[in-house]
Amino acid sequence: MATYQLTVNGQRKQVNVDPSTPLLWVLREDLKMTGTKYGCGISACGACTVHLDGVATRSCVVPVSMVGNRPIVTIEGIDKDPIGKVVQNSWVEKDVVQCGYCQSGQIMSAVALLKATPKPTDENIEESMGGNLCRCATYVRIREALQNASRQLK
């Protein structure tokens, strides 16, 4: 066990866990922030996507010991980001979700995409969102909501 100081959604948190524990499980079980989801544990589905120092990151394969001082933003805090708020609202406006389980990860990936590429092409979308699995296959509406958010961001 080791003690780690984490900055999650702007707040300082302290956890005492095994260094190999993936950030995902620290968020979910130690910090009780269950909006970030476990889907595969091997970085293949994107349900666990968070922003680590602004970069969309699969938290299921990042040991907590590797996080360091990098700030973490999760779905629970993304509405404080102006782009995050627009994306979240666009998701609601376009009625994207079905089961909803993957959508935290989809939204986190979408926000990262729009921060880097405010006017994404279909190709950009497929590249950035290409690793986020949705078994309900809400992809058509994800595209719509992303483009809609992009338009609103001007």
* Interface with other proteins, residue 52, by CB under 8 A: no
Residue 23 lies near other proteins (rule: CB under 8 A): no
> Using the 8-state DSSP alphabet, how is residue 98 labeled?
S
Residues contacting residue 143 through CB under 8 Å, at least 6 positions apart: 122, 125
Considering only 53, 140, 151, 152, the residue that binds other proteins (CB under 8 A) is 140
Binding segment (CB under 8 A) for other proteins, from list 51-59, 65-73, 90-98, 113-121: 90-98
Positive/negative CA dihedral, 110, 135, 99, 142: positive
Residue 102 is encoded by which pair of tokens? Answer: 């993957």
Question: In this chain, which stretch among 51-59, 65-73, 99-107, 112-120 interacts with other proteins, using CB under 8 A?
Answer: 99-107
Q: Which stretch binds other proteins (CB under 8 A): 51-59, 65-73, 101-109, 113-121?
A: 101-109
Joined tokens for residue 1: 């066990």
Longest Cα–Cα distance of the chain, Å, equals 47
User: Distances in Å between the alpha carbon of 77 and those of 10, 33, 97, 139?
Assistant: 8, 10, 19, 24
- Asked if 41 is part of the footprint of other proteins (rule: CB under 8 A), the reply reads yes
Q: Which is nearer to other proteins, 106 or 118 (CB)?
A: 106
Local structure of residue 15 (DSSP, 8 states): E
Where along the sequence are the contacts to other proteins (CB under 8 A)? 1, 17-18, 20-22, 25, 28-30, 32-42, 44-45, 47, 74-76, 79, 88, 91-92, 95-104, 107, 122, 125-126, 129-143
